[in-house]
């Protein structure tokens, strides 16, 4: 039972929560109280907290990888350690190196009329950060925002996806070894727990997930005027210039599309090739993909689709495309039946139409629709006529042409001759624009985005404004008008 104030009637009322939801409320109150007792940890303390986090990440790395593998049914252990764990460890190094400088006040200009005053901006921790992590990269997308939160001096509560239940319990054990719950806490579970978490009165929420769920989270957060960082999805297009080496393009697209079986928010989602180049590209891709994954069914390097819901969703897109006349090219070297292991062979779709479900929804799987083009401006118009994507990839070593495309489109990230790798760049901000998200983390933006940029002004004993205050017929007022009001 919790005693709350009804915001509409301004009267007190009693609200009953389930024990699990009540526990979340209690955790938040504990963290807020702990923050108020010590609101500004020093740089040394923040770096020590990051060191504690690093220690348990390294200690539990095998348990993390095994748990994520169990949640997926089959998830490449190497991809977990390289794509998630290593990226987190590098982020810890980066923030530990830079946070001391970022914490320093930033001096600001004071106008002549207010001299000899001083002004600056100080960077305060916000308080308690709510982190809502998805299932596709559960370690990176929970611990990554946590690193930013700790570097900025905050406390944090992490909500782990119910589709990552095995991982969630390992993370809860690991972080409880490193931190008291009043500093960092993990919340597991789905249903009402997920819904209630986004209604909590955090000082900021970081959500990673689909656009539809992002809207729900933002609406819930608005009840308490909680600001949000939303890292959403979107259909990230690839454009290939006619001058490009298609073998090079195929190699890089194969990495980006087949890593985690395409279950990546910035994976290439659909592709524009110069007219007449599709067959050559597919042949190159097939050669590269077969070398990477000579078998699929029992290949531990080739990841399964996370669960039946996601598997059936992708199969539904494929069936809809088939009924509307799309042509399929599947890369399954040994013609294996993959149904029982929830794997989907790398698949190309040609002859696609904008009316197809697969062209209207983020795919999140190893399926790539291909369209051909004559004029680059037609491609730009196509992309600009749709919701702004999380990433846009352009293959061309001519920087002027790349700049042309970059300046005429909007996306969270613009990648030239590379896909996915920007997420692992510590000094680059990460986030979307429009329907693909708002706000950024990683890089300096991760620190400042989770800090309160508080303006401060100090006036000494000499108060210069008094010389121009009423009565306004003094000579200095006339000089002011003649000099500045012109």
Catalytic residue numbers?
231, 265
Secondary structure in 3-state letters for the chain = CEEEECCCCCCEEEECCCHHHHHHHHHHHHHHHHHHHCCCCCHHHHHHHHHHHHHHHHHCHHHHHHHHHHHHCCCCHHHHHHHHHHHHHHHHHHHHHHHHHHHCCEEECCCHHHCCCEEEEEEEECCEEEEECCCCCCCHHHHHHHHHHHHCCCEEEEECCHHHHHHHHHHHHHHHHHCCCCCEEEECCCCHHHHHHHCCCCCEEEEECCHHHHHHHHHHHHCCCCCEEEECCCCEEEEECCCCCHHHHHHHHHHHHHHHHHCCCCCEEEEEEECCCHHHHHHHHHHHHHHHCCCCCCCCCCCCCCCHHHHHHHHHHHHHHHHCCCEEEECCCCCCCCHHHCCCCCEEEECCCCCCHHHCCCCCCCEEEEEEECCHHHHHHHHHCCCCCCEEEEECCCHHHHHHHHHCCCCCEEEECCCCHHHHCCCCCECCCHHHEECCECHHHHHHHCEEEEEEEECCCCCHHHHHCCCCCCHHHHHHHHHHCC
Q: Are 213 and 133 in contact (CB under 8 A)?
A: no
Burial of 471 (0-12, 13-18, 19+ CB in 10 A): exposed
- Taking the C-alpha atoms of residue 384 and residue 409, their distance in angstroms, rounded to an integer, is 6
């Amino acid at each position: 039972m919790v005693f709350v104030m009804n915001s509409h009637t301004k009267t007190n009322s009693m609200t009953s929560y389930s024990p699990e939801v009540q526990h979340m409320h209690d955790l938040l109150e504990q963290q807020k109280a702990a923050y108020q007792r010590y609101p500004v940890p020093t740089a040394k303390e923040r770096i020590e907290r990051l060191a504690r986090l690093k220690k348990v990440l390294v200690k539990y790395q095998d348990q993390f990888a095994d748990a994520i593998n169990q949640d997926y049914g089959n998830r490449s252990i190497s991809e977990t350690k390289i794509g998630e764990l290593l990226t987190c460890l590098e982020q810890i190094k980066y923030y530990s190196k830079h946070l001391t400088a970022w914490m320093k006040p930033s001096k600001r200009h004071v106008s002549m009329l207010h001299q000899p005053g001083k002004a600056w901006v100080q960077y305060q921790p916000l308080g308690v950060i709510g982190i809502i992590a998805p299932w596709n990269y559960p370690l990176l997308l929970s611990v990554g925002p946590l690193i930013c939160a700790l570097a900025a001096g905050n406390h944090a509560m992490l909500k782990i996806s119910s589709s990552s239940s095995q991982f969630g319990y390992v993370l809860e054990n690991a972080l409880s070894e490193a931190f008291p719950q009043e500093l960092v806490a993990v919340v597991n579970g789905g249903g009402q727990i997920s819904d209630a978490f986004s209604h909590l009165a955090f000082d900021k929420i970081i959500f990673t997930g689909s656009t539809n769920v992002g809207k729900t989270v933002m609406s819930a957060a608005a009840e308490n005027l909680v600001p949000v960082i939303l890292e959403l999805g979107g259909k990230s297009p690839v454009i290939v210039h006619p001058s490009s080496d298609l073998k090079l393009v195929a190699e890089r697209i194969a990495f980006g599309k087949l890593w985690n079986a395409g279950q990546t928010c910035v994976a290439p989602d659909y592709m524009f090739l110069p007219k007449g180049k599709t067959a050559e590209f597919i042949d190159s891709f097939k050669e590269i993909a077969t070398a990477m994954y000579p078998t699929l069914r029992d290949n531990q390097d080739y990841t399964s689709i996370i669960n039946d819901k996601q598997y059936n969703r992708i199969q539904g897109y494929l069936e809809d495309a088939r009924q509307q006349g799309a042509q399929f090219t599947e890369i399954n070297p040994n013609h294996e039946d993959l149904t029982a292991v929830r794997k989907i062979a790398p698949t190309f779709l040609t002859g696609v139409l904008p009316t197809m479900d697969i062209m209207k929804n983020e795919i999140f799987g190893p399926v790539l629709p291909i369209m051909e083009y004559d004029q680059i401006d037609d491609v730009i118009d196509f992309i600009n006529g749709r919701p702004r994507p999380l990433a846009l990839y352009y293959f061309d070593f001519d920087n002027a042409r790349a700049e042309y495309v970059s300046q005429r489109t909007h996306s969270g990230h613009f990648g030239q001759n590379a896909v996915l790798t920007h997420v692992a760049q510590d000094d680059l901000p990460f986030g979307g624009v429009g329907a693909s998200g708002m706000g950024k983390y990683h890089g300096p933006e991760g620190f400042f985005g989770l800090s309160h940029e508080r303006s401060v002004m100090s006036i000494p004993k000499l108060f210069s404004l008094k010389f121009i205050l009423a009565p306004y017929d003094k000579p200095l007022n006339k000089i002011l008008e003649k000099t500045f009001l012109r």
